[in-house]
Amino acid sequence: MSLIRYVSFILFIFNVLFAIDAYQTYHLPVSLTNLAREPVVRIFNTKLYYDESARDRSKEELSTTIRQIYLLRDKLHNKDSREVIDMALPSLVQLHYDLKSDTGNIEMNEHFVKMLLALSYVQVRYAQTACAQRKTAEVHTSLRTAMGIIRRALFLSEGTKRDFEINIYAEMFDLLKTKVSHEEMEKRLGGILDEIRDLEVSFHH
């Protein structure tokens, strides 16, 4: 099966599964924090199994990761978060194809960093929405989750991109530790979102 046909088939199957799930749960409250954590764990499981030469387990773990990210995407209510996820998903599908094709030694880190950045973006965007609604506890929870995701990405990143990630992490940390008005926090969260998106886009050029 050609790469284009394979990717199209995988995306079609995932969309069917996630459309069903979205229909069943769309009106339920969404815990983005919990939804974002599981794919992060599975991303690192995928790499661990691959490094241990357990390719079948690695492929299965990656398949579950992609499915969970689609579930998360279908529950997002803002367009920009969905767009960032959409930028990173094809990279994971490509990686799944490479694992299935057994194309030799596969470099996974960049594929995973793209998605980790996208997942951190979702958390910060959720924090910004919560901030506008004066839900301070949710802002802090989402920011801490975003920081945890960025921290994991740092294990896989190199060069200037890693430097940018460190800067983003530091800004989140400072925002959590500094008492500012909701208006100022919302503005600074917007700046962090711009930085994450710019870094995400840089992987595609």
pLDDT in tens, 161-202: 899 999 999 999 999 998 899 999 999 999 999 999 999 877
Mean pLDDT of 74-79: 88
Quickly state the pLDDT bin for 83 (edges 50, 70, 90): very high
Looking at residue 35, its pLDDT comes to: 74
pTM of the model: 0.81
**DSSP per residue over the chain, as a string?**
--HHHHHHHHHHHHHHHHHHHHHHHTTS---HHHHHHHHHHHHHHHHHHHHTT-HHHHHHHHHHHHHHHHHHHHT--SHHHHHHHHHHHHHHHHHHHHHHHT-SS---HHHHHHHHHHHHHHHHHHHHHHHHTT-HHHHHHHHHHHHHHHHHHHTT--HHHHHHHHHHHHHHHHHHHS---HHHHHHHHHHHHHHHHHHHHHTT-
Mean pLDDT of 145-166: 92
Looking at residue 158, its pLDDT comes to: 83
Mean pLDDT of 57-80: 92
Looking at residue 150, its pLDDT comes to: 95
Of 36-40, 88-92, 105-109, 144-148, the one with minimum mean pLDDT is 105-109
Residue 131: pLDDT above 50?
Answer: yes
Looking at residue 4, its pLDDT comes to: 52
Distance in angstroms (rounded) separating the CA atoms of residues 50 and 163: 27
Tell which phi-psi region holds residue 31, choosing left (phi > 0), alpha (psi between -120 and 50) or beta.
beta
**pLDDT 10s digits, 2-54:** 555 544 544 444 444 444 343 333 333 334 667 778 899 999 999 999 988 89
Residue 82: pLDDT above 90?
Answer: yes
